[in-house]
Structure 1
Amino acid sequence: MNKQMMIIGLGQFGMALAKALSDRGVEVLAVDTEQEKIDMAAEFVTHAVALDATDESALAKLMPAERDTVICAMGNSSKESAIICTALLRQMGCKHIVARASSATYRRILFMVGAHEVIIPEQDFGRRFATHLLYRNIIPENDSGYELSLTEIRLPSSMVGKTLVDLEMPKKYGIIVAAVRRNGVLYKPDPKQVLSADDMLLIVSDDRAIDKLSREV
């Protein structure tokens, strides 16, 4: 079964995210208050609905808790609405809420009202592009030209207590582990090191490999 996600807020970021996820086979429900944006998104998403996501009864009818992930992608001009929406989503029991922030302070507030994950797209892009400008031989992330991407994943519970040798990720999934993040520090992967619950894996793979991994673990 394909992953099901809801994206609330169809600005440039939300619209681009909806298109990218749809292109990768995700069933996307797009939500915005502007009918014009809904009409645009309807051309490529599974469903598109025009409504105010701060209206609790209207939002509840979309059953967001049944989605694998809900992304609150409202822009900087809708901070109050984004905070209310995020709080409502948490109250409704959503499994994974991702919110968009524009500053560290705003990020903390979104975590406080219930977001499981908060991203700052402009900041993340700025850091990557600064590295590219300083070191021209470094290719920007996800720009390999071969549909490969560098992705950081949380260690699934089924992998805790095992080694990379045990997991056989290149053989089973076509995934290469480039590094292990432990206590905030990146380490060269030791094939015989036992992995712990707090470890993060930096992997090189294509989308199909990540999808296969997510389905089996």
Structure 2
Amino acid sequence: MSNLNQGNRQFAVIGLGRFGRAVCGSLHKMGYEVLGTDIDEKLVAQVLTDRIASHAVQLDSTEPTALKEAGIFEFDTVIIAIGNFLQESIITTLNVKEAGVAHVVAKASSEIHGKLLERVGADRVVFPEYEAGCALAHTLTKPAILDRFDLDPDNSIVEVLVPEEFHGKTIAELQLRNRYGLNILAVGEGEKFEINPLPNLKLHKGTAMVVIGSNKDLQRLPI
């Protein structure tokens, strides 16, 4: 594998369905070297045609020998995106972890599936459908939320439009920490943000602010 500009990190994605393709494409766009694999030769060919991975090979990931021959065990991070085939997903995760891959991320399709993946060594389990559903629910109920990053199940960082109620007031006047239990990390417009804004900074409707706090407190924002 050739050297990378961004920390020489290399990723292998096993399973080239919608989730696997999205991961491949995003990592490839960011300039990382990505190897995509799937047991379905058509999905492998499509990834190569669409140029969303550096390399792509057809293999059966339940066979340790096939994984070894493809060089999967040499990668820093392996993403197992075989969410809907429980047995194949678990066997693949076990194969990759037993071979010594440092960081294994596995997609789960249910809570039980997730627990089994953790039991066989997955370093991180993701539930894309659940996470997408939660994000949609937040967007529908709080349309002024521009972006959201969940720190854990109870706390988040959100980028929100400054509500009309806050217009023309300084951060000190709003007393967000006392009134809402929240802290403002940044205030800005478009691509430009002021990090750790001063208490005397006035907020204006239509601009954005990045706030950290518990989900319960964030729900209380007048947006």
Q: Do both share a fold (TM > 0.5)? A: yes
Distance 2:194 2:21 in 1: 29
Residue segments in structure 1 that go unaligned for 5+ positions in a row: 142-149, 154-169, 187-217
Task: Give the equivalent residue in structure 2 for 1:3.
Answer: 9
Largest Rg, 1 or 2: 2
Q: Secondary structure at the match of 2:115?
A: helix
Task: Give the equivalent residue in structure 1 for 2:94.
Answer: 87
Q: Among the aligned pairs, what percent are the same residue?
A: 34
Match of 1:26 among 22, 32, 41: 32
Distance 2:36 2:27 in 1: 11
Contact kept, 8 Å, 1:129 with 1:140, in 2: the verdict is: no
Distance 2:38 2:123 in 1: 21
Q: Secondary structure at the match of 2:122?
A: coil
- What's the CA shift for 1:34? 1.1
Match of 2:110 among 95, 100, 103: 103
Instruction: Tell me: CA distance 1:36–1:87, structure 2 relative to 1, closer, same or farther (3 Å).
Output: same
The aligned length equals: 156
TM-score relative to the length of structure 1: 0.65
Q: Which amino acid aligns with 1:128?
A: A
Q: Secondary structure at the match of 2:102?
A: coil
Match of 2:59 among 39, 42, 51: 51
Contact kept, 8 Å, 1:128 with 1:140, in 2: the verdict is: no
Q: Secondary structure at the match of 1:136?
A: coil
Q: Which amino acid aligns with 2:29?
A: D
Say what the alpha-carbon RMSD is for the aligned residues: 2.7
Contact kept, 8 Å, 1:64 with 1:92, in 2: the verdict is: no
Instruction: Tell me: CA distance 1:176–1:68, structure 2 relative to 1, closer, same or farther (3 Å).
Output: farther
Post-superposition, which runs of at least 4 consecutive aligned residues in structure 1 deviate over 3 A? Answer: 150-153, 174-181
Residue segments in structure 2 that go unaligned for 5+ positions in a row: 153-185, 187-192, 197-209, 216-223
Distance 1:29 1:65 in 2: 12
Task: Give the equivalent residue in structure 2 for 1:135.
Answer: 142
- What's the CA shift for 1:57? 0.7
